[in-house]
């Protein structure tokens, strides 16, 4: 059920419909605004109802209360998008949380529930609709923590590495259906997620990216024909597909990027 929805206020003419998880804040909110600015109808799916509803109203989209760690919530969000706007073309699986430095099993489950299950379930929920329509695009917000180890937050890094494996595997698997899937791998971005890390980041002289830089990268990834790629994004740089080391003498049949 939608908590809010309203008429379309965008100016550009397009029938494209997008679902953005974690769209109430930070990167997801920036992408939702950007998509809406180019005329896409956006469904914001998040646990934060107040901010999500307010954003949806501002951009002429819709909000659907969604806990991405619950499969049924993902399915309901997809169904709501199709019911409200008639189709689904773009799925930004973006909701995420930190993990912490301790190897705490309960925290592990919470973080994996949002960061990994949330993306896996999001793919499972949206795939039938994209297949039915004959194509579509998934963009997953992973992290640079999916490409390098993070000793100060191993659980987060595990979850983001797993997302890279998911994207690299599903890229070739979904291509015949006209469905692409790519991962955005930003370095640190100025959002509430990293508020607690600010002192460490400032001290280390690490430049934070603005969310608009990530929204630019999202648009770049959306505009390419690439699939199954992890797009590294750093401050002041354009996104570029990360090149993994090749495995020597791997049979050609297994040689995906
Ligand atoms: N901020 C960074 O430095 C950074 C860097 C790389 C990757 N990322 C990734 O970007 C994504 C977005 O993070 P952000 O930085 O915009 O943070 P943010 O905290 O501003 O936004 C995260 C959003 O996810 C929502 N969310 C949390 N748990 C949820 C759940 N169970 N179901 C649905 N929604 C849920 C929150 O309510 C929030 O709106 C995350 O996946 C994060 O790991 C962030």
Residues with a CB atom less than 6 Å from ligand 1 = 21-22, 24-28, 46-48, 66-69, 94-97, 114, 141, 143, 186, 188-189, 191-194
In the set 108, 121, 156, 242, the catalytic residue is 156
Give CA angle at 64 (63, 69), nearest 5°: 135
Tokens of 99: 């993990």
CA of 26 to the centre of ligand 1 (A): 7
Q: What is the pLDDT of residue 205?
A: 92
User: Which stretches in the chain have pLDDT values below 50?
Assistant: 1-13
Q: What is the pLDDT of residue 233?
A: 98
Pairwise CA distance, residues 188 & 12, whole Å? 32
Tokens of 150: 């993070």
DSSP run (H or E) holding 31: helix 26-37
Of all atoms in ligand 1, which is nearest to the CA of residue 190?
1
CA of 193 to the centre of ligand 1 (A): 6
Nearest 5°: phi and psi at 23? -85, 0
Q: What is the pLDDT of residue 254?
A: 87
CA of 99 to the centre of ligand 1 (A): 12
CATH 3.40.50.720 fits 4-241, yes or no: yes
Q: What is the pLDDT of residue 4?
A: 44
- The three-class DSSP label of residue 45 is strand
From the list 142, 29, 123, the residue with the least C-alpha distance to 77 is: 123
Pairwise CA distance, residues 12 & 194, whole Å? 34
Q: What is the pLDDT of residue 152?
A: 92
Strands 62-65 and 90-93: unpaired
Task: Give catalytic status of residue 108 as yes or no.
Answer: no
- State the helix-helix crossing angle for 211-223 and 26-37, rounded to 10 degrees: 50
């Amino acid at each position: 059920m939608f908590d809010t929805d309203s008429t379309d206020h965008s100016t550009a003419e397009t029938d494209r419909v997008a679902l953005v998880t974690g769209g109430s804040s930070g990167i997801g909110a920036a992408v939702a605004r950007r998509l809406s600015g180019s005329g896409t109808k956006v469904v914001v799916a998040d646990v934060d109802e107040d901010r999500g509803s307010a954003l949806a109203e501002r951009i002429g989209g819709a909000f659907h209360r969604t806990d991405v760690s619950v499969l049924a919530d993902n399915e309901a969000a997809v169904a709501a998008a199709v019911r409200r706007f008639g189709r689904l073309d773009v799925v930004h699986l973006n909701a995420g949380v930190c993990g912490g430095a301790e190897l705490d099993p309960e925290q592990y489950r919470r973080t994996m529930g949002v960061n990994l299950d949330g993306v896996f379930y999001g793919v499972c929920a949206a795939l039938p609709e994209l297949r039915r329509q004959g194509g579509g695009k998934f963009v997953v917000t992973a992290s640079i923590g999916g490409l390098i180890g993070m000793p100060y937050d191993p659980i987060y890094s595990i979850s983001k590495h797993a997302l890279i494996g998911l994207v690299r595997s599903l890229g070739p698997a979904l291509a015949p259906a006209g469905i692409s899937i790519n991962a955005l791998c930003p370095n640190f971005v100025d959002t509430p997620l990293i508020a607690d890390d600010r002192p460490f980041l400032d001290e280390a002289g690490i430049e934070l990216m603005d969310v608009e830089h990530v929204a630019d990268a999202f648009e770049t990834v959306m505009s390419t024909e690439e699939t199954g790629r992890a797009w590294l994004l750093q401050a002041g740089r354009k996104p570029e597909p990360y090149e993994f080391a090749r495995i020597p003498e791997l049979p050609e049949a297994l040689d995906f990027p």
